[in-house]
Amino acid sequence: MDTGANRHRDQAGERGRARRMPIGAEVVASGGVHFRVWATRHRSVEVILRSGPGEGRTVSLDREAEGYFSGLVPEAGVGTRYLFRLGGSNGLARPDPASRFQPEGLDGPSEVVDPSAFRWTDGDWPGLRSPEGQVLYELHVGTFTPEGTWASATEQLAYLADLGVTVIEVMPVSEFRGEFGWGYDGVLLFAPFRGYGTPDDFRRFVDRAHSLGLAVILDLVYNHLGPGGEMFAEFSDVFFSRKHKSEWGDSPNFDDAGSGPVRDYFTSNAAYWADEFHLDGARIDATQSLYDTSPDHIVGAIARRMREAAAGRRLLIVGENESQHARFLRDPNRGGLGYDMLWSDDFHHVARVATTGRREGYLGDYLGTPQELVSALRRGWLYQGQWNLRQGKRRGTPALDVPPWAFVNYLQNHDQIANTGTGRRLHELTSPGRFRAVTAMQLIGPATPLLFQGQEWSASKLFQYFSDQAPEKADEMDRGRKEFLGQFPNLATPEMQRRIAHPADRSTFEHSKLDPSERDHGEHAESLTLHRDLLRLRRDDTTIRAGSRPGGVDGAVLGPEAITLRWFDPEGQGNDRLLVANLGTELHLPVVAEPLLAPPEGHRWRILWSSEDPRYGGSGSAEPESETHNWRLPAHSALLLQPAPSDADEHRDPPGTA
């Protein structure tokens, strides 16, 4: 497989032999291991074999053009642990920037891995047939189960498939410093974090997911490297940009002198996950902080190279873009960047304000009105180029032509839970009825829904920010975290600042681990039933399913905290669906001058599904419309209605009409 614009050739050993990746250690079929590294700062590079096959050997690599060094070491093999020594016998010994595994941690030796040795069973897996119709589930391997490993997560895959999930979105797994962390401070991007298991354990996770019909995508962080990433500057003084700096630290050099190998490092990494781990795509983190002024923007190059590596499988490329630029979602032939979906913070923010009444910090850009809810559900982003008062600039670009399924809507994700300061989940911040109602808006609404681990059973566990670092760095991160959360006035108080858990405290990590046994009991089982039923509706109801297409859903405001959404029968037979949701007190509508509430001719609306079903912990539901009281919407509820034949007398023309 070709992971670069041109195949990388071994110029020191077997001339003309193609490599899988431009750098790293690759097992050679005829024997030995071929090493290649980019180190423009040095005149010489040696590979030191620390243990395993070839232990004790030190071999000088041959210098190539553009600052590369390479060489075939016949004595090395699978399991060899090695370091690169930079600049001769007295130089620094560092792990491989393209290491496939770091069994002794970030600063230890890299281990030679043969990806072709794994026996895949997913030959019949077709990949995602379409980006439309998916249900995403975000999980963090270290906290998804009490054990926090690939093996234990694999045991939960059948449960996720039965729940109705179609795509698992795994939070970043590249090797980082310390024993626990979110993964957004990854350093060695090709090496799956040792604490979760071996690279083959990750492959088994993906292989099992495919056997159950589940796709797997990986959150990739390319806007910065975490603590320890400064080692890349020891290899090359042009690895980091001199023009740009991200809010998290040094930005990779994607557009200045010497940027070619840097771009190749990151695009090859994206291709690597599709090739060697059979991943079905990626979620690219904070794309607004991937700085590139070149004609071929790195965010588009990443998506293109990953698709090329998929060998014909349909991938799902998702982006996070706080700036809300619709260019990401447009076809490259129209000047776009070729992404399938983008996360939509807007839906989360307006739903959070509507259900809790809290508008601190960045939530102050929203009022939580029913009009905002309707617009977020119908249009995706609320900000598509309007002036944003808090930011002091225009935010977003027009996206009215983008299909609803291209927006990823969520009520919870890793950031938004942790940004409550205490790590509490939405069901704890609002009433049970409101939580059930907005869950219905999310899960059967026209956008692509994303669940965060444990959301479906209203998990009792917190999810806080945790990162295991050396004391000085850990304290710096703690101060930065508290300063960021200080934008929320309630979290800026001394009392709340003291309650924000220290990220390097192991208990912060341990308290964030899910307890899957919860989901079978009490209110947790009720919440799980709610989510199962809504996802089943989304999958099986043809009218609801068609709502993700342009024009499939319309909506209106019914009251101070009430909305309606109407799904139109794609067959044109009048088999529409109507959602009436009320986040406020009980609402009576004696005058109903809203055409979306009119049932198909010869029919009246009847309840198909209710958030107040006792199986979900609700109080039961009466039909919302009658001849005696017109429309009555219960407090903190959502009702999904379907047309049913009505009595003939209801539609008989009054006397004297033509």
The residues carrying an active-site annotation are: 285, 320
Q: Is 263 exposed, middle or buried (0-12, 13-18, 19+ CB in 10 A)?
A: buried
No. of helices (H) and no. of strands (E), the chain = 17, 31
Tokens of 9: 């050739």
Cα–Cα distance, 205 to 154 (Å, whole number): 5
**Which one, of 316, 320, 544, lies nearest residue 410 by Cα?**
320
Nearest one of 603, 594, 602, 600 to 631, comparing CA atoms: 594
Cα–Cα distances in Å, from 349 out to 73, 203, 368, 378? 55, 36, 8, 15
CA dist 196 and 174 (Å) reads 11
Give the residue ranges of DSSP H helices in 194-297: 199-211, 231-235, 259-276
Nearest to 321 by CA among 292, 362, 294, 284: 284
- Beta bridge partner(s), residue 72: 34
Tokens found for residue 626: 């009658």
Strand partners, 60: 46
What is 113-160 written as a DSSP string? --GGGS----TT--B-S-STT--EEEE-HHHHSSS-SHHHHHTTHHHH
Q: Is 578 left (phi over 0), alpha (psi -120 to 50) or beta?
A: beta
Q: Which of 418, 427, 434 is nearest to 491 (CA)?
A: 418
Burial class (CB in 10 A: 0-12, 13-18, 19+), 15: exposed
SS3 annotation, 180-199: CECCCCCCEEEEECHHHCCH
Residue 248 tokens, joined: 């998290």
- What dihedral angle (degrees, nearest 10) is formed by the CA atoms of 237, 240, 245, 246? -150
Alpha-carbon distance of 103 to 194, in angstroms, equals: 6
CB 589 within 8 A of CB 553: no
Token digits of residue 150: 């690939």
Residue listed under structure tokens 């220290």? 502
* Distant-in-sequence, close-in-space partners of 604: CB < 8 Å, separation ≥ 6: 625, 643, 644, 646, 650
Q: How far apart are CA 638 and CA 616, in angstroms?
A: 12
